[in-house]
Amino acid sequence: MAKRITTHQYCDLPDLGERLSFKFNGKNIKAFTSDSITSALIASEKTLLTRSFKYHRPRGAYDVFGQGHESLVTVNKEPNILADRTRVEDGMFVESQNVWPSVDFDIAAVNDVLVPMLPNGFYYKMFHKPKWIWPIAEHQIRKVAGLGKIDVTGKHVDRRYEKHYRFPDVCVVGGGPSGLAAAKGALDEGKQVLLIDDNPELGGHALHSILPVVNCSNSALNGIPEYKAVKKLIEELAENTNLEVMVNTSVFGLYEDNLVAAQCDANLFKIRAESVVLAPGATDRHLVFENNDRPGILTARGVENLIMCHAVLPGKDTVVVTTHDGGFHTALLLKGAGANVVAIIDGREPGSDGEFEKQVRNLAIPIYKGLTVHSAHGKKRINRVDVGPISGGDSHQSFDCDLLVMAVGFKPQVNLLSMGRKRPEWDSQRQILRVNDLPSGMYSTGDVHGTASFSRLYTEGTDSGKAAALNDDAPKTERTADEIIMALPADIESAGTHHFICKCMDVTRTEAKASIDEGYDQVESLKRYSSMGMGPCQGKACHEAVARLAAIDTGISEAKAVPTTMRPPFSGVSFGVLAGRAPHLSPIRRTPIHQCHIDHGVKFLDAGQWKRPDSYTNPQEEVGFVRNGLGMIDVSTLGKIEINGPDAVAFLHFMLPAKYAKFEVGRTRYSIMVGEDGILFEDGTISHLEQGKYYLTTTTGNQDAINALFQWWLLVEDFDVQVKNLSLANAAVNVTGAASREFLQKLVEIDMSNKAFPYMHCRQTSIADVPVSFYRIGFTGELGYEIHFPAEYGESMWRYLMTEGETFGIKPFGVETQRILRLEKGHLIPGTDSDALSSPYETGVGFAIKDDKVDFVGKAFLKHFKDRGLDNKLVPYQLDPSSPIPDDGVAVLENGEIAGRVTSSRMSPTMKRGIGLAWVRNDMSGSGNNFTIRLADGQDVTATVLDHAVYDPEGLRLKS
């Protein structure tokens, strides 16, 4: 019978806080604010918390530190929450997992009888024939062998996932006595320290130890019980402003260069420390014996925690199984809390005389030496234990009890020390698995090297903290004979077949042996076949038992026992924490005119990171605005590069394939760029704004690459030029349509007439006192002017032009509209209509190359392309007015064979038929030639090659 206690004979009890209540499996449970879910349930005599993974055996609290699967419950619809570490909240809904219909009566518990009758690893061997049976079997196996269920609607989760970074000088993992001392050691050296502990409170196991501190180098701690001493130490550290403490935080991974990954609730911490001190401590050793998984069997430190931190006595009639004086300490705490300690079963031979053993003897509690537990009885809670020799065999005696306390030594938490770098090794002298050599900058201290007195842990911790702060060699650890706890056999070879090695995955010694007999006789293959150590605790509870028993059962000396590789995550980490929140990872680029587009009710188009206006009404209608009136588009995303200086012309000659020696001020030209491989990768315009000052526009996607390329060549070649990337500094719009000249003439002082400002010319002037540059170009096929101006005037300029243009019927148009307009004019877009194999000659822009220059980027390959002739050609085409419109990218066929592809295809509202650009074989590219386009639905349509643009082939409109 568990109960809440109000007084204790040997220690002070904690303040439990306010009263509250929560629901467990639909039943009301009373608790205090200081309670964990586990302590509250035990205090309410709810021993049965969950069912096991495979056999659905009843399971209850075990270590009370959240190491095993027993602690996993569903809280407020969120599965796999650690009940041991989760504080109760008023109104909380807690449910058992992996049970149906209830944890008390679980239908699947029949597995406990049925499954052992099936062959070992039956799920690998059965249900394969006939084929259709496996999906059904898999569904059923998953249904009965699983953990909690995720509510995929996610509606229950109201949580922000955050990512944080920390850069302490020293990161200490573990807040027990040695971790606290390490933090102090580093703080004393003036370092910034981050101290992390996975429990709600710092202090570790010392929080529930009444052993007085003696011989501690921190004299203020001597003479007081450890639980008071550790609190005093915490208070002392709390005053240091260089210390940051994170509790309830699990370190789940250690990576190169001292990267520590930790989770606290929905927060991911990435900690890059100069040095890391690992003080993860040790937990009670897992002993394998018959029915070692029954509810009512708890670890000694779990029981001590319940009594001293939660004022909960977890049972009335108690048997303590031990191999060291700590078991007598637990017995004393139980006695002081009012328990009936039926017996203490000490595996050691007579002759031990620890401090607590002496006290227990004075209380006339029966002590049985040289024995250990053989078997537990009772189903949903133990009611009796059998004891016998530690070598197993027949049991000698039985004791009725409702609580069995396991105090059979400690198992260091070596996982974080190992983490895939180095496997632990069995230390025969200290009787534990250890990891000795750590990478540079990483230190370890405390119980992880074997249990020791408070004063020794304090000294070693302080030394490690100082060494970490000063980047010194790691201090050596020592353990005296009286500190070493002998390890019992990993399995007490008693009768029965329910000796659980891995409680998470329900793997017994019998199954492990059967697997070894089947040939899985290496610890790694044994783990994978039997799934030992692959459950929620990831081997934290069982890795030592697995290693030792695998060694024994495969005929290896126990001294050579090696656990399987320990890798992150050390503790459970949610996908939400790893994923974080998506918007941070994909920033949006907005043009300086973005808000104006929103005001016009724009439909945006994603162009890389840019949000560009796709259209405002519909593209087909917007084409009409431009062809028949006046349109304006935001082209601020264009790259804009100014080149000036004495060598500007030489630089342009080198970088671009055209000639510029006779390029007069005020002129604008179409320009292309090729790579050193001669492949076309860019086109735009270049304008000669002032003597020696040129202005190059590039496509949106290439602006950074071209600027970087220019800068790179400037490092390689000796040109006296200045290259200024003005892509962000300038906004730009294209005002186009027959009325554009008349409209703009109203706004500027320069003469906009065709004679004074002809096609392919540029001018610098101002609009409403804002300096602007005009480029008369014809991408849309209409009379048009690109206007560039400082980006900070983006919104104002757009609004001004829209307002002033109202009488001319000006309308905004988007990128999709522009794509139709340019296609009607037959203009290509590099990257869309060309690819990484397109030569400029095949693409139809060979006119922009003047290869009789001395040298320029791509010259050698361009010569090769020219000499080789054309294999393929990019051609404009049109469809019959009744033909459906192909998708971009569909195949061009000849005689049923692929002979090219369509790169751009649209319905032309001006020509009222489908038009496009397509790559075809050169012999198919003659004007008037017909070719076949296969649509996505398999239908074929006939296209006719044009030798000119479908719209205004003479260019009369744009030159007008």
Partner 1 sequence: MIKTSPLSGIYRNHPVKLTEFSGWQIADNFGNAERELIHLSQGSVLADWSHIGKISLSGSDAAKAAEQTITGASKIEPLRSLSNQNMAALRLTRNDYLILCQSGMETDLLEKIDHKITTVIDQTGALGCLVLGGPRRDEVLQRSTAMDLRRDRVIAGSVIQSSIHTVSMTLYRTKHFDIIIHPRNLSESLYDALMDVGIGVGLVPCGISTVPVSFEEGK
Chain residues in the site for partner 1 (CB under 8 A): 160, 162-167, 192, 270, 272, 581, 583-592, 594-595, 598, 610, 722-730, 768-770, 790-797, 800
Query: Which tokens hold the place of 66?
Result: 């959240």
CB closer to partner 1, 654 vs 800: 800
Minimum CB distance to partner 1 smaller for 1 or for 598: 598
Of 169 and 816, the one with the shorter C-beta distance to partner 1 is: 169
Tell me the closest approach of the beta carbon of residue 113 to partner 1, in angstroms: 52
For partner 1, the closer CB: 245 or 549: 245
Cα distance from N-terminal residue to C-terminal residue, the chain: 100
Name the region of 929 (left: φ>0; alpha: ψ -120 to 50; beta: rest): beta
Q: Measured from the CB of residue 728, what is the shortest distance to partner 1 in angstroms?
A: 4
**How wide is the angle at C-alpha 27 spanned by C-alphas 24 and 28, nearest 5°?**
90
Alpha helices in 392-453 (DSSP H): 415-418
Which lies closer to partner 1 via its Cβ, residue 585 or residue 854?
585
Choice between 289 and 694, CB closer to partner 1: 694
CA angle (391, 396, 399) in 5-degree steps: 115
Nearer to partner 1, 282 or 791 (CB): 791
Mind spelling out the 3-state secondary structure of 713-775?
Answer: HHHHCCCCCEEEECCCCEEEEEEECCCHHHHHHCCCCCCCCCCCCCCCEEEEEEECCEEEEEE
Residue 226 belongs to what H/E stretch?
helix 226-238
Closest contact distance (angstroms) between CB of 596 and partner 1 is: 10
What is the distance of C-alpha 14 from the center of its chain?
39
Q: Which is nearer to partner 1, 240 or 932 (CB)?
A: 240
In three-state secondary structure terms, 796 is helix
Q: Compute the residue count for the chain.
A: 960
φ, ψ of residue 763 to 5 degrees: the values are: -145, 155
Cα–Cα distance between 488 and 470 in angstroms, integer?
A: 40
Q: Name which of 638 and 680 has its Cβ closer to partner 1.
A: 638
Closest separation in Å from C-beta 162 to partner 1: 6
> What is the Cα–Cα distance from 680 to 699, expressed in whole angstroms?
13
Largest CA distance in the chain: 118
- Per-residue buried b or exposed e for 344-374, using 16+ beta carbons within 10 Å of the residue's own CB: bbbbbeeeeebebbebbeeeebebbeebbbb
- Yes or no: say if 377 and 349 are a contact pair by the CB < 8 Å rule: no
Residue 212 DSSP code = B
CA 660 to mean position of chain CA atoms: 53
At closest approach, how far in Å is the CB of 731 from partner 1? 8
Q: Find the shortest distance in angstroms from Cβ 821 to partner 1.
A: 25
Query: Minimum CB separation from partner 1 for residue 584, in Å?
Result: 5
Nearer to partner 1, 126 or 708 (CB): 708
**Least gap, CB of 577 to partner 1 (angstroms):** 13
- Asked if residue 312 lies in contact with residue 64, where contact means CB atoms within 8 angstroms, the answer is no
| Beta carbon of residue 272, minimum distance to partner 1 (angstroms, whole number) | 7
How far apart are the C-alpha atoms of 353 and 102, rounded to whole Å? Answer: 48
User: Would you say 131 or 584 has its CB closer to partner 1?
Assistant: 584
Give whichever of 476 and 584 is closer to partner 1, judged by the CB atom.
Answer: 584
The answer to whether the CB of 14 falls within 8 A of the CB of 34 is yes
Rounded Cα distance between 194 and 191, Å, is: 10
Least distance (Å) from partner 1 to the CB of residue 687?
18
HEC per residue, 476-516: CCCCCHHHCCCCCCCECCCCCCCEEEECCCCEEHHHHHHHH
